[in-house]
A and B are shown apart, each in its own frame.
Chain A
Amino acid sequence: MIELLSLPFMQRALLAALLSGLVAPAIGMYIVQRKLSLLGDGLGHVAIMGVGLAFLTGTAPLPTAVVTCVVGAVAVELLRQRGTATGDLGLAILFYGGIASGVMMAGIAGQGAAGLSAYLFGSLTSVSTGDLWAIGILGVVILILTIGLGPRLFAVAVDEDYARVLGIRVKLLNLLIVVLAAVTVTISMRTVGLLLISALMVIPVATSQQLFIGFKGAFFGAMGVGVLAALLGTVGSFYIDSATGATIVVASIGLLAVSWLVAGPLRRRRNFIPYVEDHPHGAVEHERAENHDDGHAHEPGVKVIQHGDHVDYVHGGHRHAVHGDHYDEH
């Protein structure tokens, strides 16, 4: 590990990957909430056109791809807001036209599939110092916007109409999310790769939602999971000599599996409902619930179910119901 950190290219790759691990799930939270999970993938295709264009014109790939992808993202969102059948066709043309023209331009420039694949699946040796600066600055801007505008972006993702009545500029924020997603995709192309980056937007979010209750908890949790996946994947790809992005995505899927193992039994216990016969509540025979004399309010995670004319609380394999000033055991 020490030996690995003394290699300058490895330091750059690790920093770039950790930044992607932080940023991709942050924007991914809003993308998942708005059910646009495939958007990141489409934007990755558009960015391939930017890379091809850079090969052809001899410009630096990262800035060219950022500009191309942001322009594509604005077009995507405008088509989506129109929401027509032509809009749908427009998206398909943009996405597949992006990847096709990118591969074509790379071929004409004499780079072929081999030159592109470092951008499609990520490669440790490809992050230059200049790239790192650009990735760092853009990453920080994305973090400031996704966290600073968090409450508003959340409100828009939850309920657009209500957000409008709060005076929030809904269309502008929707556009911002797509543009930030485009920038995230492109700054991740050296490490995670354009074909895989949307996985890092979506999978850590799913992992975090297994583990944390609440949007804020899941938001910061997803960033933590993303960083961990990026770290595991980058180091792993060094030792087993695999494509960095592919290794990062496999690592994030591994973390998702672990979160299922952890959260599964927890949720099963929470959802377990002991059977009771129907009864009018407060019927003659009842037994006071244990440990409820302090009139404790039921904690989050305690299951509530409607039971005839009253509500039952389920926890620890017991069903409790309010009866006057105390809880009854069922």
Chain B
Amino acid sequence: MADNTPLLDAQGLYVSLGGLPILRDVGLQVHSGEAVAILGGNGSGKSTTLRTVLGLIPFQEGSVRLFGTELANFHAWDRVGYVPQHSSLNVSNATVREIVSSGRLSHHRVFQWPSRQDRAHVTHALDLVGLTDRGRWPFVDLSGGQKQRALIARALTSEPELLIMDEPLAGVDLHSQAGLAGLLGQLRSDGLGLAVVLHEQGPMADVLDRWVTLCDGRIVTSETQGATDCAPEPAKTSSMGWLDPVAGVRR
């Protein structure tokens, strides 16, 4: 694989759900060591985009390549991490460790149970998100923000090269948000590719390299912006002043 092959390369995606067109001509590229944000209002198709590139939703037109391989032929799922949006888990009384451990399964053969090494990875991931002493707790007893951090740990514990996150900081307190943003920035400098849906850039602004804005299932560009009624408001960053979401570069 050539070094400049994108980890994720989605082009010209058209998706319809229940007969309604949801995505129109959406593309998304993520390279190694690059963090791309997907912005846009509620219902603009951000989650659908992520779920489509992961193969959870079929697309009618376009192409998705992961690590240079067509999605249909892609099997190296241990290289991909996913944090779903406020996912509703059927957990009853599973512990935090048990939930996080399932992230290691992409490395496992079919009848394999977790090894000592897996447990060490899980402990490390819990440390990274600040849930060290919560491992043996029932997952349902965590607060909303702690649950979200546990799901981030679940994705990190497989040590992915491409991390796809859907509003990962929703419900997380500001202090932890800053910690997680720092962690993701660190992983990105180590070569992680990141596609992340955000409501606002918040503490993530310093980590992001690029951002695309969706509006009504389309990518907003300077040409299409006038044609839609949901021109994005500029987002404020912590240190760099105002970002221009249309051009997708720092001014």
A contacts, CB < 8 Å to B:
32-35, 148-152, 154-155, 157-159, 161-168, 209, 212-216, 218, 297-298, 300-301, 303-304, 306, 311
Query: B102, A162: Cβ atoms under 8 Å?
Result: yes
> B54 contacts A165, CB within 8 Å?
yes
Question: A32, A148, A155, A218: which has the most chain B beta carbons within 10 Å?
Answer: A155
Q: Which residues of B contact A (CB under 8 A)?
A: 51, 54-56, 75, 77-78, 80, 82, 84, 87, 89-95, 97-99, 101-103, 105-106, 108, 110-114, 132-133, 136-138, 141, 143, 154, 158
How far is A56 from B121 in the complex, measured between Cα atoms in Å?
58
**Contact of A164 with B56 at beta-carbon distance under 8 Å, contacts A35-B90, A214-B94, A215-B94 already known:** yes
B77 and A166: CB pair below 8 A?
yes
B95 contacts A213, C-beta separation under 8 Å: yes
A162 pairs with B98, CB closer than 8 A? no
Contact partners of A213 in chain B: CB under 8 A: 93, 95, 136-138
Give chain A residues whose Cβ lies under 8 Å from the Cβ of B91.
158
Contact A297 B133 (CB under 8 A): yes
Are A215 and B93 touching (Cβ within 8 A)? yes
- Are A209's CB and B92's CB within 8 A? yes
Within 8 Å by CB of B113, from A150, A212, A214, lies A150
Counting from the closest, the 3 A-B pairs by CB-CB distance are A167-B77, A297-B133, A155-B102
CB-nearest residue of chain B to A301: B137
Q: Is the CB of A149 within 8 A of B111?
A: yes
**Do A162 and B93 touch across chains, with their CB atoms under 8 A apart?**
no
Question: Once the chains are docked, how many angstroms separate the CA of A149 from the CA of B78?
Answer: 18
Q: Are B102 and A304 neighbours in the complex by a CB distance under 8 Å?
A: no
6 other A-B residue contacts (CB within 8 Å) besides A209-B93, A213-B136: A33-B92, A165-B82, A215-B94, A216-B98, A298-B133, A300-B137
CB B20 to nearest CB in A, in angstroms, measures: 18
**A158 — which chain B residues lie within 8 A by C-beta?**
89-91, 94, 99, 102
CB pair A149 B98 closer than 8 Å = no
A residues near B99, Cβ cutoff 8 Å: 158
CA distance A167 to B80 in the complex (A): 10
Q: Which of A159, A216, A306 contacts B84 (CB 8 A)?
A: A159
Are A32 and B92 CB-contacts (below 8 A) given A158-B99, A161-B56, A162-B87? yes
Whether the Cβ atoms of A149 and B110 lie closer than 8 Å is yes
Listed by A's residue number, 22 A-B pairs whose Cβ atoms lie within 8 Å are A32-B92, A149-B110, A151-B102, A151-B113, A152-B110, A154-B94, A158-B94, A158-B102, A161-B56, A162-B84, A162-B102, A162-B154, A163-B102, A164-B54, A166-B102, A166-B103, A214-B136, A215-B94, A215-B95, A300-B95, A300-B136, A304-B143
Q: Is the CB of A165 within 8 A of B93?
A: no
- A167 and B102 within 8 A (CB): no
Distance, CA A192 to CA B219, complexed state (A): 60
